[in-house]
Structure 1
Amino acid sequence: MSTVTSRRLLNLISLAGLIISVWFTIYCFHLGVFRNTTALQALVSRAAIFGPLLFIGLQIIQVVIPIIPGGISLAAGVLIFGPIEGFIYNYIGIVIGSVIAFSLGRRFGKPLIHHLVSQKTYDRYIGWLDNQNRFTKLFALAIFLPVAPDDVLCLLAGLTKMSLKTFTIIILLGKPATILAYSYALVYGGMFLSHII
C-alpha cells in the first residue's frame, strides 16, 4: 500500500472516529450524562473487569493510530469510571500506547512513520531530531505541556538514540499533568455548559 493511500485511509478512519465522538457527546448531553454521571458509572460497573480492559485497549490503539481525538477519550474515561479510576485507566493506556509507538518507530523507522503521519506534520517536527540533546529536552517539554502531537513525537523519538528507559521515564513523569488537564477541562467544561444551556 502506498503512503498516499494509507494516509487517506487513516484520515477517513480518523474522520469517522471524530464524527462518532461528536455524535456520542451530543447523545450523552441529551441523556443528561454531564449532569448525572452516577447512572453511567453504574451501567459500566456491571461490566466488571471487561469495561476497564476494553477502555485501556482503546486508549492504547488511539495513541498508536488516532481513531478518535485523544481529548475526547480522556474525558470519556473520567465520565465513565470516575475521576480516580478514569485517570488511572487513561494513564495506563496512554503510557502503554506511547511505548508501543516509540518501539514501532524504532523497529520500522521512517517508512512506517510516513504511512501514519502526514508529510506536513512530519516536516514540522523532523528538524527536532537534528540535535539529540535538544530533542530530548523538547520532547520532555512537549509531553509535559500539551503543545505538540504526542503520538507523532513518540514515533519520531524511535528514530533517535534515546533509550527506551529515558523515553519511558519522560512519559511516566510527563503524562499525568496533560491527562489531568485535558480530561478535567473537557469534563467540567461539559458540565458547565450543560448547566447554562
Structure 2
Amino acid sequence: MGIIYFLIAFIQPIILFTPEMVTITGGSLTLGPLKGFLIGYIGILGGIGAMYFMGRYAQQIIVKRLGKEELFNKYTRLVKKNGEVIIGLLFILPVLPDNIICAGAGISKMPFKNFISIAAVAKLITTFIYAYSIELANILPITELQLFAAQLVVMMIIVLVNHLIKKRRLKVAEMT
C-alpha cells in the first residue's frame, strides 16, 4: 500500500488535479500519520522536482499549448523579482495547483537549488499539517479561522526570513 501511496503522491504535483490535502490526508488515514507524512512528503517533493524540469525543458510546448505567452511572461517577471516569497506563499496557501507553480518556476529559470529548497520547507509544513490534521482536530478542536490565522503566521515567517536573506545578500554584495 505504501508504494501505491508514494506513486499517487509523486504524480499529484504533475498530473493529478486533486488537492494535496486530499492525497496526504488519505495516505495518513490508510498508513497512519507518520508513514503518511514521510511517504507523502518524499513523493510530493519528487513530483515537484520532476514537474519543475518538465516546465524548464518543455516551456515552449507548455506556453504554446496553453496560448498564454503574455501571462507566462508576467509570471516570469514576478518570480524573478520576488521569487522565493512568491513560490513559498503559493505552495503554502492553496491558491494554485502545484503543477502550475512548478512549471512556472521552471519556465522562469529560477535556479533549481533555490526552488527545491523553498518547496522542501513549504511542503514540510503543509504535508505535516495535513498528515496530522485528523489527530490534531481530535486533540485541539480548532476552527477554520484559527487554521487560517496559523497559515498567516507561517506565511509572515517565510516573508520575514526571505527579507533577512535578501538583506544579507545585499550586505555581502556590497562588501565585495
TM-score range (shorter-chain normalised) is: 0.5 to 0.7
CA distance in structure 1 between the partners assigned to 2:76 and 2:57 by the alignment: 17
Q: CA deviation at 1:151?
A: 2.1
Question: For residues 84 and 188 of structure 1, what CA distance do their matches in structure 2 show?
Answer: 11
Per-residue displacement from partner, 1:133-169 (whole Å, max 9, x unpaired)?
3133211222234343222111110011211111111
Give the TM-score taking structure 1 as reference length. 0.59
* Pairwise CA RMSD: 2.9
The answer to whether residue 25 in structure 2 is matched with residue 75 in structure 1 is yes
Report the TM-score, using the length of structure 2 for normalisation. 0.65
> How big is the shift at 1:93?
0.7
Verify: 1:164 aligned to 2:101, yes or no: no
In the alignment, residue 33 of structure 2 is paired with which amino acid? P
Contact 2:21 2:130 in 1 (8 A): yes
Change (3 A) 1:68 1:191: farther
Once residues 35 and 16 of structure 2 are traced to their aligned partners in structure 1, the CA distance between those partners, rounded to angstroms, is 23
Correspondence 1:129 to 2:76: yes
Gaps of 5+ in 1: 1-50, 193-197
Residue identity in the other structure for 2:107: L
**2:7 & 2:64 partners in 1: Cα distance?**
24
Q: Match for 1:93: what amino acid?
A: G
- C-alpha contact (below 8 Å) 1:101/1:154 kept by paired residues: yes
Q: Identity rate of aligned residues, in percent?
A: 26
| Structure 1 contact 136–162 (Cα < 8 Å) conserved | no
Q: 2:153 matched to which residue of 1? A: none
